[in-house]
Structure 1
Amino acid sequence: MPHADTLEDARSADAPEPAKLTLPTLTALVVGSMVGAGVFSLPRRFAQETGVAGALIAWAVAGLGMLMLAFVFQALAVRRPDLDAGVYAYAKAGFGEYLGFFSAFGYWASACVGNVTYWVLIMSTIGAIAPALGDGDTALAIVLSSVGLWSFFFLIRRGVREATSVNRIVTIAKVVPILVFVVLALVFFKPSVFADNIRGADYAGSLFTQVRGTMLATVFVFLGVEGASVYSRHARRRKDVGRATVLGFLSVFAIFASVTIVSYGILPMAELAHLRQPSMAGVLEAAVGTWGQVFVSVGLIVSVLGAYLAWTLMSAEVLFVAAKDEDMPRFLARVSHDDVPVPALLMSTSLVQVVLVVTAFSGDAFNFALDLTSSLTLIPFFLAAAFALKIALRPERAGVPAGSGTRRELVVGALATVYTAFLLYAAGLKFVLVSLIVYAPATLLFVKARREQNRRLFSPREVVILAVSVAGAVLGIVALATGWISL
């Protein structure tokens, strides 16, 4: 593609001004991104790993860790207002172009894999009354899901303002059923059942093992805390990015923890662990009857469709900004007259379609996609936290005036870095290797971008990073082939 065409398409003076989003809309993007499929799967997912005591500790750890990440994105939005598409831009500014590229690609890939779980869960929910849809991975389910995802493509194709307005309305609509679930669960709460679930079942292992087993689930449900940061180029006021991040996080944290804990007062832990997904529907059915299952199922469909919209917006935005910064091939930097990065949106939708088809050959598509989504996001989160720590320790080396750091920023950056490092440990070697299988081939896009600029493909430092990622990917492939790890 000629360079002149790229400049005309992506950077000309005649390009449209980005849509300007207000604080309520940015907050809705954060809440809409986090409140999706994950919250409806929490009762079963937690019961498979831990009892009440472990759940309380897990939410305390996850809540503190993710709050530190929320503060990180809030601080970075103010410290480096020149950086757009938060997660990706922070990794690049802090640790170089190649790790920045990995961060952009990993974040984008995680969004696409996460979007697959939404369609699987929708079809699985309907499958309770339409057996032909099975657990969301039958041929009919895949066809219907494909129709849905391409319908969203054309909705977003019409323009950012229209899509984000729809997201704000849907966010309100989907939070209401979850709050009703919490209230009803409290009304039918059984103290004796709750007491029996405090220590956890025999299969759960030690308390540390229980807490560790919930970590990827908590990461998955909190994905989207960075939503306002990712979409920062559209903010009407820069400080609204940080405010929306913290407001959205605190609201959603209260919802997630409540859904998990009240469920332990409805059914024994062993029964919770074997509920059909969405397990929230099974919990409410046990409390109030069949209408409770229907109520939650309808709420889930609204919730998941809203989350899918928000995540599709963000995934396309990350590709677009990376291409605009010449870290992705130039064709991804094109925008329509409605300010929509259509090639990036098309590439995102296409990957969702491919992974959706692959689910037909997976034994447990929902849980594996959930864990892989979380694992792919850990490296971008870790790099963003480490960049905040770098600013606090050596501001002059991070593009911030010397002497501008504060003790609060140092504490926040350190805690967020330790938390994300712990998440990598909690994910386990299996998902780290599988993530590298996804990361390593993506280097071809990086190579294409460098060739378009007639630049050296890799610096000596980048060669080392490449070698590590390729070695990890090869090890992952061998481990899968020999059965050492399985999907």
Structure 2
Amino acid sequence: MTQPTQQKFAMPTLTAMVVGSMVGAGIFSLPQTFGRVTGGLGALIAWAIAGGGMLMLAYVFQTLSRRKPALDAGVYAYAKAGFGNYPGFLSALGYWTVCCLGNVSYWVLIKSTWGAIFPAFGDGNTVLAVAISSVGIWAFHFTILRGVKQAAFINTIATVAKIIPIVLFLVFVGFGFKADIFAANFDGGPGLEGAGLFAQVRGTMLVTVFVFVGIEGASVYSRYARKRSDVGLATLLGFLGVLCLLVLVTMLSYGVLLRPDLAELRNPSMAGVLRAVVGPWGAVFVSAGLIVSVLGAYLSWSLLAAEVLFSAAKMESMPAFLARENRNGVPAAALWMTNILVQCFLVLTLFAEQAFLLALKLTSSMILLPYLLTATYALMLAWRGETYEGQARERRIDLLRAGIATFYAGWLVFAGGITFLLLSLVIYAPGTILFAIAQKERGHRVFTGREQLLFAAAAAGAVVAIFGLATGRIAV
């Protein structure tokens, strides 16, 4: 049997994977999603918290890539190394689901963009929108099957192409910025009189998580890196560049339209902001940029999703069939399973009133466990001094960074609220079937004693969530 060709990525490609994963649908919806819940001051505080927390998380990924070079596949491998088989599996399952949900949000937003011209697409969750999106899912599927390196090259081109319209948006909106409008929006203005600053900031947390998902892109693909040192540097460079774009898009928009008007914009709301500055052609320009951006990010997340399943199967936490590669070195079985789940989620958007917002918040909620376990694992290494022999200063620095990252991830669980935490358990609990199959295949006991308790808690939460959905107490 012919062995698949080993494919290696240089640092620019790894950086493009990080940027391409993070810059997708979220940035184009920032004016509306922030405008719904906070004013300029709350937005500044939110980005300071999110930027600081995610920077520490980026440092965590950089540190772990250097100190644990044998652990490929990032979030999954770190969770398993630190906490055991079942928590590692849950991290892989959560991250895989995040990729799938993110891809669904991309198709919804693309069709919502088209809906401004063709009403039959509605807000991206009509029958026609789902049908056209389904064609797109499988077109990308067969493109990726032709080879990971080819797909990564396409992603690099798409990453450059989608940054250009965002930068041009910032230039035009910068010229149209009005200080008096920004001042009126600073404390939130009409409609947010009763909302305290803490509540405003908390309301942005899941949004900020959504736009940063993908920061671990280089870490997940570490087995393809030419040099392990490139993984951490690519993560930091990608994060800092994207953070600047996110903050500028959000804050400049507050100087163009009053907050209530921002809140009423149709997504992609960047299009409405630019329209207010330059006229109708601005909306068309942003919409075209969004489509390029989202399709590039879709490709990145499809690759990430398949890679996580594949790596988890190789490390014996997923069923063995998911470790199969085709002759092009692509984890084909994992890719098939990924796109089948994306297709199922896409069909479910027909029954959600605000499909994009639901996908955004559920995506953000699902990623919290993988991030929390990764940060805690880095904290454990620094606390115990493992890999830090004779490096007291580096240990203190990494202990501080990992501690902040762990606190931030824990804060996000609280800020996200109980509703989406319970909804995430509806996926975690039944998804455990895959873990049971993997353990049985290898002749292992399914759960240890502590893992049984963890599964029981997840199952109980899932039952509560299903009951809430059935009785209308939890609405989607």
Q: Same fold (TM over 0.5)?
A: yes
Give ranges in structure 1 of 5+ residues lacking alignment: 1-7, 9-13
Give the equivalent residue in structure 2 for 1:435: 424
Q: Does 1:119 align with 2:107?
A: yes
The CA deviation at 1:395 is: 3.5
**Alignment partners' CA distance in 2, 1:109 and 1:380:** 11
**Separation in 1 of the partners of 2:278 and 2:19?**
28
Aligned to 1:476: 465
Which residue identity does 2:442 align to in structure 1? Q
SS at match of 2:204: helix
In 2, Cα distance between equivalents of 1:22 and 1:336 = 23
Which residue matches 2:322?
A: 332
Q: Which amino acid aligns with 1:485?
A: I
Please list, as runs of the form range in 1=range in 2, the aligned pairs for 1:83-482 lying within 5 A after superposition: 83-204=71-192, 205-396=195-386, 400=387, 402=389, 404=391, 406-482=395-471
For residues 233 and 391 of structure 1, the distance between their equivalents in structure 2, rounded to whole angstroms, comes to 22
Unmatched 5+ stretches in structure 2 = none
Q: Which residue of 2 aligns with 1:4?
A: none
* Offset of residue 295 of structure 1: 0.2
The Cα shift of 1:402 comes to 4.8
CA distance, structure 2, for counterparts of residue 168 and residue 395 of structure 1: 38
Match of 1:5 in 2: none
Moved more, 126-135 or 424-433: 126-135
In 2, distance between residues paired with 1:176 and 1:222?
A: 19
Which consecutive segments of 4 or more residues in structure 1 shift more than 3 A?
A: 400-405
Instruction: Return the match for 2:64 from 54, 71, 76.
Output: 76
State the distance in 2 between where 1:15 and 1:211 align. 52
Contact 1:18 1:233 (C-alpha < 8 Å) held by counterparts = no
Amino acid at match of 1:102: L
Contact 2:190 2:260 in 1 (8 A): no
CA distance in 2, matches of 1:477, 1:201: 38
* Deviation of the 1:156 alpha carbon: 0.4
> What amino acid sits opposite 1:99 in the alignment?
P
CA RMSD of aligned residues (A): 1.1
Q: Aligned to 1:106, what secondary structure does the other structure show?
A: helix
- Counterpart residue type for residue 421 of structure 1: G
2:13 aligned with 1:38: no
Q: CA deviation at 1:455?
A: 1.0
| TM-superposed deviation, 1:458 | 1.0
Question: In the aligned structure 1, how far is the partner of 2:6 from the partner of 2:100?
Answer: 24
Specify the SS of the correspondent of 1:21. coil
Shift of 1:123: 0.6
**Partner Cα separation in structure 2 for residue 290 and residue 15 of structure 1:** 53
Mapped to 2, the partners of 1:464 and 1:154 lie a distance apart of: 41
Per the TM alignment, residue 15 of structure 1 is displaced from its structure 2 partner at its CA by 3.5
* Cα displacement (A) at 1:479: 1.9
Q: Residue 134 of structure 1: CA displacement?
A: 1.0
Distance apart, 1:137 and its partner CA: 1.0
The range that moved more, 353-362 or 313-322, is 353-362
Q: Would you say the 8 A contact 1:50–1:201 is kept in 2?
A: no
Cα contact 2:39–2:189 (8 A) shared by 1: yes
Output the CA distance in 1 between the equivalents of 2:257 and 2:24.
23
For 1:476 and 1:357, how far apart are their aligned partners in 2?
20
How far the C-alpha of 1:362 sits from its partner, in A, is 0.9
Q: Choose 455-464 or 412-421, whichever is displaced more.
A: 455-464
C-alpha distance in 2 between matches for 1:38 and 1:329:
33
Contact 2:385-2:395 at 8 Å conserved across structures? no
Letter matched to residue 237 of structure 2: L
Deviates more, 1:454-463 or 1:260-269: 454-463
SS at match of 2:203: helix
Aligned residue pair count: 472
Distance 1:313 1:265 in 2: 38
Secondary structure, counterpart of 1:406 in structure 2? helix
Tell me which amino acid in the other structure corresponds to 1:33: S
Cα distance in 2 for partners of 1:356, 1:362 equals: 10
Partner deviation per Cα, 1:266-317 (whole Å, 9 max, x = no partner): 0000000000000000000011100000000000000000000000000000
Whether the 8 Å contact between 2:32 and 2:264 is mirrored in structure 1 is yes
Q: 1:401: Cα distance to partner?
A: 5.9
Conserved 8 A contact 1:395-1:403: no
